[in-house]
Amino acid sequence: MSLPKRIIRETERLISDPVPGITAVPHSDNLRYFDVTIQGPESSPYENGKFKLELFLPDEYPMVAPKVRFLTKIYHPNIDRLGRICLDVLKNNWSPALQIRTILLSIQALLSSPNPDDPLANEVAEEWKNNNVHAIATAKEWTEKYAN
């Protein structure tokens, strides 16, 4: 099955007009599967970290959201041990007007503003709320240890 024009166009635009701090490169043997890196945002505990993610565009894309997962270990209340991300636009608030580009920007924004009231990793969220200083220190430590 040939690749829909939309995916080709998005891939071209990702390469010709890249988003600062984000890269997304499709696999040559599967153009629906992308290797992604996201730079940890400034003045966040993830600053200077380079996080690897995988992104897959299902057959129904863009009518359904891309599947995105962190490959790099990260200490974040909305990202669990398996790298799964709790983000509304990846689930029920997905809209076909969104793109790979906008989704990755949303994920980057999630790193800047964690939401411990809507946790995916419960223990991390508890720590984030009850012992914020320690949680942020752990996040920094993990960033140094794993995200290089």
- Nearer CB in complex with other proteins: 2/28: 2
**Nearest-approach distance from CB 131 to other proteins, in angstroms:** 22
Of 37 and 112, nearer to other proteins (C-beta) is 112
Active site residue 86: yes
Of the residues 19, 71, 86, 98, only one is catalytic, namely 86
CA-CA distance, 71 to 81, in Å (whole number)?
10
3 state DSSP class of 117: coil
C-beta of 12: minimal distance to other proteins in Å? 10
Taking only Cα atoms into account, the Rg of the chain, rounded to an integer number of angstroms, comes to: 16
Cβ of residue 59: shortest distance to other proteins, in angstroms? 6
* Count, residues near other proteins per rule CB under 8 A: 26
Q: Which stretch binds other proteins (CB under 8 A): 4-12, 16-24, 33-41, 103-111?
A: 4-12
Hey, which residues between 62 and 121 contact other proteins (CB under 8 A)? 62-63, 80, 84, 86, 88, 91-93, 95-97, 115, 117-118, 120
Half-sphere exposure of 11 (CA within 13 A, CB side): 19
3-state helix, strand, coil in the chain (%, to 5): 35, 20, 45
Interface with other proteins includes 1 (CB under 8 A)? yes
123 binds other proteins (CB under 8 A): no
Q: 43 or 59: whose CB is closer to other proteins?
A: 59
Determine how β-strand 33-39 pairs with β-strand 67-70: unpaired
Q: Which H or E run includes 33?
A: strand 33-39
Please check whether residue 94 is in contact with residue 106, taking contact to mean a CB–CB distance below 8 angstroms. no
- DSSP label at residue 79: B
State the catalytic residues: 86
